[in-house]
Amino acid sequence: MKKKISLLKLEKLIRDLKDFEDGEKKVEEVTLEEILDKWEELREEIREID
């Protein structure tokens, strides 16, 4: 099964990850792996709700 995400959702996800503050330090960059991990978490949450 291919994973698909709209560009709008991807942009929001990246923005949310960048806005996340890690303790005192503001996160300026996120890796693709972090984005994909977060996307998987969101997909699992959506499945649980359904």
Instruction: Provide the residue ranges of all domains of the chain, joining segments of one domain with +.
Output: 7-49
Q: What is the pLDDT of residue 45?
A: 81
Identify whether the C-beta of residue 18 lies closer than 8 Å to the C-beta of residue 44.
Answer: no
In what helix (H) or strand (E) does residue 46 lie, and over which residues does it extend? helix 32-49
Residue in 19, 39, 38, 37 with CA at minimum distance from that of residue 29: 19
Measured distance between the N- and C-terminal CA atoms of the chain, rounded to whole angstroms? 19
Positions in the chain whose pLDDT score sits under 50: none
Q: What is the pLDDT of residue 35?
A: 80
Q: What is the pLDDT of residue 12?
A: 81
